[in-house]
Chain A
Amino acid sequence: MEFIMIIVIGILFAAATYLILSRSLLKIIVGTGLLSHGAHLLILTMGGLGGSAPPVLTDGVTDFADPLPQALILTAIVISFGVTAFILVLAYRAYAVHQTDNMNLMRGNDEHD
């Protein structure tokens, strides 16, 4: 199971890298979304998969799943939701003002304004 997870994570990271390196702002944002999904899956895998019982305190159960990575992912997912929503709105505003979503055209500094 870990093996499949790691391959999935690798594919997510590769796709994310490809998208982030592209020129279109929207593709970059999708790329950051994939990147954070990969990171979340990585936490889950690194925490150790398996455990037959749910992580609830019950007498006599020893083989339970580790609750901590799940708590971490929950937090990280919420944060990435918020940030993705923000950056989508930001991209829309930037598109409206700059009339482009091509990152190549958004280069430069003060002196080029």
Chain B
Amino acid sequence: MINLLLFPIILPFFFAIILLFFKENIRVQRSLTFIGLLASLVAALFLVAKVKADGIQAITLGGWSAPFGISMVSDMFSALLVTTTIVLTLLVVIYSFTAIGKERERFFYYPAILFMVTGVNGAFTTGDIFNMFVFFEVLLIASYVLIVLGGEKKQLRESIKYVLVNVISSALFVITVAYLYSVIGTLNMADISVKIAQIGQPGIITVIAILMLLVFGVKGSIFPLYFWLPGSYAAPPIPVLALFGALLTKVGVYAIMRTYTLFFIHDVGFTHEILSVVALLTIIAGCVGALAYFDLKQIIIYNIVIAVGVILFGAAQMNDAGLTGAIFYLIHDMLIKGALFLLIGIIIYITGTSNLRKMGGLMKTHAPLGWIYLIAAFGLAGIPPLSGFVGKLLIVEGAFESGNIWGSIIILASSLVVLLSVIRIFIYAFWGEPVDLPKTERRPYRNRMLPAVILVILSVLYGVGSEWLVPYMTDASNVLLQPSIYIDAVLKE
């Protein structure tokens, strides 16, 4: 019994509550947020080391033993995601110091971010399906605050749609949990897995699997359910967009991966076939969107949709290479999407527009920005040895192993589309004749470069040092491949 795995959830929560009392004092807000996230990061790194050394960590709240009480479980998969979440939030917060504006900082911007981190980390760590719903709501309510904060006309319009979509999908989540409880009679995820194995996945469980795919698919933006994403994500300012794009959809993806590797593994011919077809359709839909727009934000937003498809396709293969690749690609995507959003935020700040047609020639005036953006773009497209490559290679390998030749071809082709879409930004924004730029202060631009550059460097290190990361990734995918490890760790405490 060890409380370490609760720290990345409780520390942001604790600091957020303290921050509520210092509404007007921006300096306190900034420094406490920074300290809180730094402390959470230390705890998360300890957690990764602990999980690596001693295996899965589990804790049952209130001393109720496993199937009855609420368990929190930290395996390597969730520990890595928790760490990435905190790293990313820390850098976005540093970026926000100059980018978000004093008005928003005064209206609980940082507490909302910390509450969202609480929810995200909680959803990654929980071992109880209803508790996952609660943590989803925690992060969603914080995200409602973030998306509407500022109250611009466009924000209000889009946040109504965002809130409505999520309220309805939450109701569907409750309904799904109700069905699951009536069939299985337990809410502990490890126990659900045991009970489903005992009755051998009858049809009703497959129905529940598809309902879960719908619920998490809305949050993770899979093929027919991503309709709300481009509009809603374009509304808030860039730092919020970076957080949403890097974290929120990934929670849905995590939930799908978790449930589809732990619960619904006895009828993979049906559920996982649907998952991989939907994932491929997601990739295609994302590609169409990414090529269709001449707007910086929209291009990168549609790249989120593509990445979700790639990750889920890897997860649907249910073999070693596919799952390891999916985990690799998931963490890669969180880092690189954060970096890209921060970089296009700087481009939009410098040029004063997000329309590609009104830009040009930034390479002559802002060369370092151009080179950093180029590295990030290549990383996103997966050019070796940058970080996207390893994950995608493993996913394609896994797809070949399970005989999905067409799937692999679509994934490889999508890399070209991704490259085309981000290089188009490079060509339009950085090449050509310079246009008249609005006057921007030199200093905020410099300050904003720092977190973006750190994120790009992290993603490059993630790609170059992937050899060193392999043991961690294997640990993470082993848990997904063999649910018995997870079950034993939770139920035998």
Contacts and interface: CB of A to CB of B under 8 A. Distances in A.
B182 interface: yes
A79 B131 CA distance: 12
Determine chain B's interface SS by DSSP, over half rule. helix
B151 interface: yes
Interface stretch (B154-162, B311-319, B331-339): B154-162
Contact of A36 (B133, B153, B171): B171
A97 B354 CA distance: 24
Contacts of B133: 76
A56 interface: no
A47 B183 CA distance: 9
Contacts of A75: 130, 134
A45 B361 CA distance: 64
Interface in A46-83: 46-48, 68-69, 72, 75-76, 79, 82-83
A90 B160 contact: yes
Interface string A31-50: 01001101110110111100
A35 B160 contact: no
A28 B161 CA distance: 11
B167 A87 contact: yes
A61 B454 CA distance: 62
B168 A20 contact: yes
B371 interface: no
B159 A90 contact: yes
Interface stretch (B172-180, B259-267, B399-407): B172-180
Contacts, number: 98
A47 B174 contact: no
A18 interface: no
A46 to B, nearest CB: 4
A113 B153 contact: yes
Interface string B166-205: 0110111011011101100001000000000000000000
A69 B141 CA distance: 23
B137 A42 contact: no
A71 B361 CA distance: 61
A39 to B, nearest CB: 4
B153 A72 contact: no
Contacts of B153: 97-98, 113
A110 to B, nearest CB: 6
B43 interface: no
Contact of A86 (B141, B170, B171, B354): B141
Contact of A47 (B161, B171, B182): B182
Contacts of B141: 82-83, 86
A35 B168 contact: yes
B472 interface: no
B170 to A, nearest CB: 8
B168 A46 contact: no
B130 A72 contact: yes
Interface string B126-147: 0000100110010001001000
B273 to A, nearest CB: 28
Contacts of B170: 36, 79, 83
Contact of A106 (B160, B167, B174, B182): B160
A86 B257 CA distance: 31
B163 interface: yes
A83 B230 CA distance: 23
A95 B22 CA distance: 31
B475 interface: no
A33 B151 CA distance: 24
Contacts of B160: 25, 87, 90-91, 94, 106
Interface of A: 20, 25, 28, 32, 35-36, 38-40, 42-43, 45-48, 68-69, 72, 75-76, 79, 82-83, 86-87, 90-91, 93-94, 97-98, 106, 108-110, 113
Interface of B: 130, 133-134, 137, 141, 144, 148, 151, 153-154, 156-157, 159-161, 163-164, 167-168, 170-172, 174-175, 177-179, 181-182, 187, 230-231, 234, 295, 354
7 contacts: A28-B164, A47-B181, A68-B181, A90-B148, A91-B160, A93-B151, A93-B156
